[in-house]
Amino acid sequence: MTTGAVNPAHYASQLETKVTRLQQLLAPYTAASPTVFASPASHYRMRAEFRVWHDGDDLFYIMFDAETRAKIRTDQFPVGSELINHLMPAIIDYVKYQPVLRNKLFQVEFLTTTTDQALISLIYHRQLDEEWQLFAQQLKQHLSQYGEIHIIGRAKKQKICLEQDWVTETLTIAGRDYSFQQVENSFTQPNAAVNKHMIEWALAATQDRPGDLLELYCGNGNFSLPLAQNFDRVLATEISKTSVASAIYNCELNKIKNVTLVRMSAEDFSAVLAGSKQSRRATEADVLSFNCQTVLVDPPRAGLDMDTIELVRQYEMIVYISCNPETLAENIGQLANTHEVTQTALFDQFPYTHHMEAGVILTRKVQ
Pick out the residues of the known binding site for S-adenosyl-L-methionine.
189, 217, 222, 238, 298
DSSP type of residue 33:
P
Cβ-count burial of 115 within 10 angstroms (0-12 exposed, 13-18 middle, 19+ buried)?
A: middle
Active-site hit among 323, 326, 330, 340: 323
357 is catalytic: yes
204-to-79, 208, 226, 296 alpha-carbon distances in Å: 29, 9, 11, 13
Binding site listing:
189, 217, 222, 238, 298
Active-site hit among 169, 184, 215, 357: 357
Strand partners, 171: 178
178 in Cβ contact with 201 (< 8 Å): no
Phi, psi of 268 (to 5 degrees): -65, -40
Residue type, 188: T
Across the beta sheet with 292-297, what order do the strands follow?
35-37, 339-347, 357-364, 317-322, 292-297, 212-216, 234-238, 259-263
In 5-129, the DSSP E strands lie at 35-37, 47-55, 58-64, 71-73, 105-112, 117-124
Active site residues: 323, 357
